[in-house]
Amino acid sequence: MTAHDHASCQHTARSAAERLAAARGVRLTDSRARVLEIVAESHKPVGAYDILQRLAGERGRAAPPTVYRALAFLVDQGFVHRIDSLNAFVACFDPERAHDAGFLICEKCRTVQEVADPALGAAVKSAVAASGFRPRRVVVEISGLCAECAV
């Protein structure tokens, strides 16, 4: 197994967020950027409470509304994805491109891999179109074992 540089992931996610926030005319505050870094530091989903604990450990007392507002901003801007089934968040490493999200969630090691295939969202939208349902957001979550854990 090759070593993975999570610091590089944090830097990539933050750089993209800074660039896109400036282009969109929105503010990536220090608190929002730090929440993004915490989410991006591993490829495992992180819950709001875990983020709150980290911030409290770093900065003293942290207010829950600050974390929830930061997460709402990050999700709204496409910098972070919410994994509904886990009530947790993962960083988006392709925030420049609006896309439907698909996730492979390992039940053993809890890593999450994003599936960035436009055909996935198109297939779901096509499948429900006959019913007259109009999806606003498509998120596909597939649980199982990653390649390393399946061995």
Q: Which residue has the higher pLDDT, 10 or 113?
A: 113
Residues 6+ apart with CB under 8 A from 27: 21
Does residue 86 share a domain with residue 12? Answer: yes
Instruction: Kindly report the backbone phi and psi dihedral angles of residue 47, in degrees, each rounded to the nearest multiple of 5, phi listed first.
Output: -90, 160
Name the token pair of 93: 């490493």
Does residue 82 share a domain with residue 20? Answer: yes
Q: Rounded CA gap, 12 and 16, in Å?
A: 6
Does 151 map to a domain?
no
Least confident range of 6-10, 44-48, 102-106:
6-10
pLDDT given at position 5:
63
Query: Does residue 4 surpass a pLDDT of 70?
Result: no
* CATH label of the domain that carries residue 109: 3.30.1490.190
pLDDT given at position 1:
46
Residues paired with residue 113 on neighbouring β-strands, in sequence order: 104
Our CA dihedral for 111, 55, 11, 75, rounded to 10 degrees, sits at: 70
Share of the chain above pLDDT 70, in %: 95
Q: Rounded CA gap, 34 and 12, in Å?
A: 13
Residue range of the domain that includes 54: 6-91
Query: Does residue 2 surpass a pLDDT of 60?
Result: no
Does residue 16 share a domain with residue 87? Answer: yes
- In three-state form (DSSP H/G/I as H, E/B as E, the rest C), the secondary structure along 55-88 is HHHHHCCCCHHHHHHHHHHHHHCCCEEEEHHHCE
Does 96 map to a domain?
no
Place of tokens 């750089």: 15
**Which among 73, 81, 85 has a CA at the least distance from the CA of 99?**
81
* Rounded mean pLDDT, 14-20: 93
**Which among 59, 68, 108 has a CA at the least distance from the CA of 89?**
68
Number of domains in the chain: 2
For residue 5, the Cα-to-chain-centroid distance in whole angstroms is: 18
Residues 6+ apart with CB under 8 A from 84: 139, 141
- pLDDT classification of 115: cutoffs 50, 70, 90: confident
Query: Does residue 46 surpass a pLDDT of 90?
Result: yes
Share of the chain above pLDDT 90, in %: 54
Does residue 47 share a domain with residue 117? Answer: no
Query: Does residue 25 surpass a pLDDT of 90?
Result: yes
Q: Kindly report, residue by residue over 82-104, the tens digit of the pLDDT.
A: 999 999 999 987 888 878 889 99
